[in-house]
Structure 1
Amino acid sequence: MTVAQDAPEAVLEGLDEEQRTAAATLTGPLCILAGAGTGKTRAITRRIAYGVRSGVYDPHRVLAVTFTARAAAEMRSRLASLGAPGVQARTFHAAALRQLQYFWPVAVGGTMPQILDHKVRLLAEAAKRLRITTDRASLRDFASEVEWAKVSTLTPEGYVEAATGREAPAGVDHQSFARLYQAYEDLKSDQHLMDFEDVLLFTAGMLENDERVAAQIRQQYRHFVVDEYQDVSPLQQRLLDNWLGGREELCVVGDAAQTIYSFTGASPDYLMQFRRSYPQAEVVKLIRDYRSTPQVVSLANTLLADRKPGLGGNEAPWPTPLQLISQREAGPTPVLTEHPDDDAEAAWVAEQVSSLQEQGAALSQIAVLYRTNGQSQAFEQALASAGISYQLRGSERFFSRREIREAMAALRTSSLVQQPEAGGEPEETVPEAVRGVLSSIGWSAKAPTSTGAVRERWESLAAVVALADQLAAEREEFTLREFLAELDERSAAQHAPTVEGVTLASLHSAKGLEWDAVFLAGLCEGLMPITFAQTQREIDEERRLLYVGITRARKHLYLSHASARHAGGRGRRKASRFLIPLRRSLGLEPAAVKIAPGGGKPSPNAATRKGPVTCAGCGEVLTVATQIKRRRCETCPPRYDEQLFEHLRAWRLDYAKRLQLKAFMVFADSTLELVAEHKPTTDEDLLKIPGIGTKKLEQHGAPLKEALTEYLKT
């Protein structure tokens, strides 16, 4: 039966079964677990629109919260097109700031403090007072640590205890940093300033301490939707709880497998424990992937499924990932390559980009993603040498760039704006006028071949020219005044135009975006996972980061790594351990056989095995007997439960004393390591452990199983 377009149910048309269930559930707590590319924004905007059109929601009493201004702007645009233009869609900070500005005169009185754009200046002053030596890098680290402390709701007094076990920022001990943190807060107070975290802190405090304000805000907003809920910090959750005031009209959307901002204080715990907080909550899982081909989705699923416990056992929770199912037609098989050095890898990427362009791919639909911003230089040079346009993402905001401010100023002072034609047709079209004005400040029809600042400036101006072309084609009688108004509106929403060039971006800054073709570069140990990722939690986050990178690709996916940093360098780099299951999934053979570090001749029985034994961590072929036994080379971190290993060693020592044997005669350390990793519970499982044969099993198997069971029960 056809539904009338003005009927509430019309907005539910075209949704799949799970999306429709989510969109039609209008009341009570609702948790939507939405995998990458499963249409979560579509589901939640349709849900809000359905609630508004059916009369369940007053659009002015709905607050949708997301994490970026761009995502909020997109949500507002979609809601307006669905007939729900009055709904507020904002970031946490934007929503809190609006409330703070409105209620400050009543709740606090006086002038509200100015917002501090950057913490570095005050931190430098605070460090100077405390005689702490700083440089630009250390000041950035201090700023990040202050932000972590504040979103974790830690005061300077509570910081030291909470930071135990956390790496000291910029090499400054925690006690000294706490003093620096306090000095920074004092300077802010003296200068009547507040930072971005204070916006949330002050708003939460205002709601907690002023019942009149709390009642008015809770009267204003009755229904809440929170997107990207896996990235909520304790401070944001505190504010959300105050907004709700004990009510349960809350819909949260997220995916624990896309948690990649833990280092900033974000926590997936609120998403994972939502049913514990709201026992009556409905849970809907979105698993149909509309973004990526089956080949890309399969690789993403494989990466998450390969995660094994270890490095601390149960201290790192790992919820069962959503098993995505692609809804797209089959595409090309992902490509996995190894290169001799970084420059060779970058040159190969440029060649593939050129090939994709020749096949009709738009450069704006191609991205090169890497772990750290320092990796971009090789790709900038390779693309520029090949005459391929590119844009750097994650650096300065588009509308904050000097050249864009200059462009907008030049357009405002142009004759077509100051003295528009009195009647009749203007002498120039808007695109022609924009080209004429911007050519005076550095734009040219031909892109420069150099890299760095010159190229970035040109790319920014070229994006403004392209936007003028696009809008002039879409709108009749388009004027330069209207174009400037459009730029001002986009600037306020930080809605940057699309730059027609390959996107170069870190994996973190690529979250929430997608491209037809994605190159994941530099996938070697030390970069993926990053060197400082040591604990199970940190390794898990790196795995999720690579998962986010893979799921950015719609059709073409390329994964690569280089054996050396520079041409002619010794190829000592190892491919990322995360590539091992992906190689198997793609049907690729292991990397070329290499003698393991510290190894001499291959193990005598290595040749009798069915195939080469590879390290479970990095995939390196093993040739040393003890390493073969452990299934781990000497440079890779252990994967076993360290607490269980120590428990088994203590048991072995006591057991061996009772039998009047040397401890190693019962089981070797390498054998106990494997037991601590695999936790075998049956005789059949024990016999799979190297170092445990039939005789060992008969002699010591039963006591070993008892010791293992004793630990697992605790």
Structure 2
Amino acid sequence: MVQIYLKVLETIRNLPFNMGMNLLVQVLQGNESNPQVSKTNLKNTTNFGIFHDQTREQLVSLLKSMLEQGFLIYKELPTNKWIKVLDISDKGKQELRDPKGFVKKEEIKLEFDSEPVSEQENQIINSLSFFIKEFNPEQSKAIISESKKLLCVAGAGSGKTTVLTKRIEFLCKFKSIKPERVLAITFTKKAKIEMEDRLAKLQVHNVNIQTFNSFAEKIFQQNWNLIYKERSNIIKYSDRIKLVMQALKRIGLSFGGVADTYFTTGQRKIKSQDQLLFSFVNDCFSVIDYYKTEREEITPFYNQMSQYKEKNNAKILHDVCQNILKIMAQQNLRDYSDQVKDAITIFENFPNLIPKFDHVLVDEYQDVNAIQIALLDLLNPPNIFAVGDPRQAIFGWRGSRINYILDFNKDPNSTTIVLKQNYRSHPNIVGLANKVVKKMNITDQEAGLSSESFAKPESKLFNFARMELEYDFVTREIAHSTFDNNEIFVLARTNKQLADLSKKLHEKKIPHILKTDETKAAEVKKGYVTLATIHAIKGLEAELVFVLGGNSMYFPCKVSDHPVIESLNLQKYDKMDEERRLFYVAITRAKQQLYISYTGKSLTPFIDKESRKFLGGEEFVNPIAKLNKFTTKTKNESQIYAALREWRREMSQVKQVPAYMVLNDKSIEELSSALPINKNELHDIFGLGPRKIQLYGEEILRIVNS
């Protein structure tokens, strides 16, 4: 049977004219009642109605996947550059001539059947009541289970770290396992130190507690001479910058020239030259890390891009990465990803050097990648205990795969235990979190604590006319909060949001720290509010949590953080699913109070009508807007307001329509306050629909940002 995507390509090729996605779906479904279909006689088109049995959602999903994989592109109409239509890319035309295959992302089903506590296990648990009396039955089973391959699916706030630590204590004290024969692998140094401290308090010493990288580096330092002629150094971040600059010089480019094409006008406007350089350096090493974690050589990934600018940027990135690797080899340098890679090389060539452990325990198993799985396979312990939560798998862009935790669960020799109780958050927050990830088809968490256990519980949704008001609200709430500053988190999708809020907090002299993707050293500090990206805050908790930008521009994030990596991961990584999980991670950091705020008209699709009942049932709350109703505009706002009104007057004369039909007063008010920098942000302005953005978007942005 001819694959469905080829039929779509064939249909587009035979269309009398190019069209947008909505009309194309009508053609594929064979909707003769659509006015545009009948007006343009599209029912006589080849393949009209060929997918009459497919829903609109199914076809839109297919078309988006074809866009992502480069078979289709958007292009401007010659007669109207504001209107974009679908067309077949060069890759799509080649596919019609010589089909290689279209990979539709696999629908992941997260079904985990928790094995009940057996009668024998109950007897053991009862006999050890003095040891595990504070644990629930599922936690107790995870601690004492005899299973040789055990997966513990532990939701947010379920006490997974405590369970993992207690299991190590159980093995050493009650099963006579020598601590030296136990290896516990954590994902961060902080988690490693925390586990060491906990075990020390339990009088359990000499357990091997390592991150993947520290374990691998220890192996390397003992055996480096087997694979290197000279001792090799691990590069620091400053070395990364030097390597990028050297690589650019080798290919005859300067960073200034690259920045002008690599970054958008908006990015260049809001970021300093240093910030742009850091972003480019991070992209370069993300590509290098990706290929190393996948255990592959860097390929010409730019061939996957269909748009010229995308392809050109990817080609620059590819060439820089290739030269970085050459320079590192010449200078005998290694980076973070080489640590695990080198340990594997040693083990594969000298299997007698593989250390023997009776038990290996792995934390955050949902975040493992291919190279880490390869290391675990080589260790091949007789007993492995993995703890993870697929709802919190948020590092797909750097090579982590949710499939590994699913594959563990599918192994017929494995045992799965699900920890359902959330002992961190108020029941309303637990209920909201369950609704957010409902589409994942995973067992709901249960509130482990009653509402009465919380002194000041509150979950609310706030909507604001513009971001400045959103930040004013958060600043004021923090200033008046009765919680200690270190019990307050402000979480956002991007570093820019945090930087803008930080300025407000500085003005009010509120002590705070930034914990972003690029400043990993920052930690929660007594007396300081924590501002963090969600990726950076994972694993932490606070009494009061603010989630900024809860609209459809930030959740899911319309601006790709890792566009090249995502193009490499198309067949393995579903960005939308990960965005949903990211939102789940954000809201489950909160214990008592959760404030989700957003600007504009479009609330995140991750909060539906059913979810709102957990947020006080309030869809629109805007107290700050009322307080600021009579505030005067800044000088900049007044100038933009006047410029927009003047432009509207001129445009209404050209179009020969009333001024309000070009832009109404409320739209101008919001534009002069919100200062949008791209078309995505224009969608959040009152009165600006797709048509007006197509007609006037570029001109409005020029005025607002001039």
Matches within 5 A, 1:189-204: 189-204=329-344
Is 1:209 matched up with 2:349? yes
From 505, 508, 519, the equivalent of 2:532 is 505
Q: Is the 2:244–2:324 contact (alpha carbons within 8 Å) kept by the matching residues of 1?
A: yes
* Equivalent position amino acid for 2:489 in 1: A
Matched residue, 2:584: 547
> 1:186 and 1:70, CA in 2 relative to 1: closer, same or farther beyond 3 A?
same
- C-alpha distance in structure 2 between counterparts of 1:228 and 1:152, whole Å: 19
Shift of residue 620 of structure 1?
A: 10
Matched residue, 2:617: 588
* Equivalent position amino acid for 1:37 in 2: G
- C-alpha distance in structure 2 between counterparts of 1:189 and 1:385, whole Å: 48
- C-alpha distance in structure 1 between counterparts of 2:465 and 2:339, whole Å: 49
Matches within 5 A, 1:72-83: 72-83=192-203
Matched residue, 1:258: 392
> 1:82 and 1:395, CA in 2 relative to 1: closer, same or farther beyond 3 A?
same
Aligned residue-pair number = 476
- C-alpha distance in structure 2 between counterparts of 1:388 and 1:36, whole Å: 29
Matched residue, 2:219: 99
Shift of residue 127 of structure 1?
A: 2.2
Q: Is the 2:305–2:311 contact (alpha carbons within 8 Å) kept by the matching residues of 1?
A: no
* Equivalent position amino acid for 2:427 in 1: P
Is 1:121 matched up with 2:242? yes
Matched residue, 1:283: 416
Matched residue, 2:635: none
* Equivalent position amino acid for 1:187 in 2: I
Decide which moves more: 374-383 or 234-243: 374-383
Matched residue, 2:377: 241
Matches within 5 A, 1:138-177: 138-156=280-298, 159-160=299-300, 164=304, 172=312, 174=314, 177=317
Matches within 5 A, 1:413-562: 498-532=525-559, 537-562=574-599
Matched residue, 2:191: 71
> What SS is found at the alignment partner of 1:273?
helix
> What SS is found at the alignment partner of 1:579?
coil
> 1:12 and 1:134, CA in 2 relative to 1: closer, same or farther beyond 3 A?
same
Shift of residue 363 of structure 1?
A: 0.8
* Equivalent position amino acid for 1:59 in 2: P
Q: Is the 1:391–1:499 contact (alpha carbons within 8 Å) kept by the matching residues of 2?
A: no
> 5+ unaligned residues in a row in structure 1: which ranges?
308-318, 402-495, 564-572, 601-617, 636-714
- C-alpha distance in structure 2 between counterparts of 1:502 and 1:191, whole Å: 42
Shift of residue 497 of structure 1?
A: 7.1
Q: Which has the greater radius of gyration?
A: 1
- C-alpha distance in structure 1 between counterparts of 2:496 and 2:589, whole Å: 21
Shift of residue 150 of structure 1?
A: 1.6
Is 1:232 matched up with 2:350? no
> 1:576 and 1:397, CA in 2 relative to 1: closer, same or farther beyond 3 A?
closer
Return the TM-score normalized by structure 1.
Answer: 0.61
> What SS is found at the alignment partner of 2:441?
coil
Shift of residue 350 of structure 1?
A: 1.7
The share of aligned pairs that are identical, in percent, is 27
Decide which moves more: 165-174 or 69-78: 165-174
Return the TM-score normalized by structure 2.
Answer: 0.62
Is 1:182 matched up with 2:322? yes
Q: Is the 2:302–2:318 contact (alpha carbons within 8 Å) kept by the matching residues of 1?
A: no
Matched residue, 1:454: none
> 5+ unaligned residues in a row in structure 2: which ranges?
1-122, 257-276, 564-569, 622-660, 665-681, 694-706
> 1:272 and 1:133, CA in 2 relative to 1: closer, same or farther beyond 3 A?
farther
- C-alpha distance in structure 2 between counterparts of 1:532 and 1:198, whole Å: 30
Q: Is the 2:459–2:616 contact (alpha carbons within 8 Å) kept by the matching residues of 1?
A: no
Matched residue, 1:679: none
Matched residue, 1:410: none
> 1:116 and 1:56, CA in 2 relative to 1: closer, same or farther beyond 3 A?
same
Q: Is the 1:622–1:633 contact (alpha carbons within 8 Å) kept by the matching residues of 2?
A: no
Shift of residue 172 of structure 1?
A: 4.1
Q: Is the 2:517–2:535 contact (alpha carbons within 8 Å) kept by the matching residues of 1?
A: no
> What SS is found at the alignment partner of 2:575?
helix
Is 1:576 matched up with 2:604? yes
1:232-278 Cα distance to aligned partner (Å, 9 max, x none): 0111111111122xx441111111110111111111110011133x3
Q: Is the 2:475–2:505 contact (alpha carbons within 8 Å) kept by the matching residues of 1?
A: yes
Is 1:269 matched up with 2:269? no
> 1:163 and 1:353, CA in 2 relative to 1: closer, same or farther beyond 3 A?
farther
From 3, 17, 36, the equivalent of 2:156 is 36
Q: Is the 1:296–1:550 contact (alpha carbons within 8 Å) kept by the matching residues of 2?
A: yes
Matches within 5 A, 1:701-712: none
- C-alpha distance in structure 1 between counterparts of 2:314 and 2:205, whole Å: 48
1:628-663 Cα distance to aligned partner (Å, 9 max, x none): xxxx9999xxxxxxxxxxxxxxxxxxxxxxxxxxxx
- C-alpha distance in structure 2 between counterparts of 1:169 and 1:499, whole Å: 46
> 1:82 and 1:253, CA in 2 relative to 1: closer, same or farther beyond 3 A?
same
Is 1:327 matched up with 2:448? yes
Shift of residue 579 of structure 1?
A: 2.9
> What SS is found at the alignment partner of 1:380?
helix
Matched residue, 1:351: 476
* Equivalent position amino acid for 2:443 in 1: L
Matched residue, 2:427: 294
Is 1:393 matched up with 2:515? yes
Shift of residue 180 of structure 1?
A: 3.0
Q: Is the 1:64–1:225 contact (alpha carbons within 8 Å) kept by the matching residues of 2?
A: yes
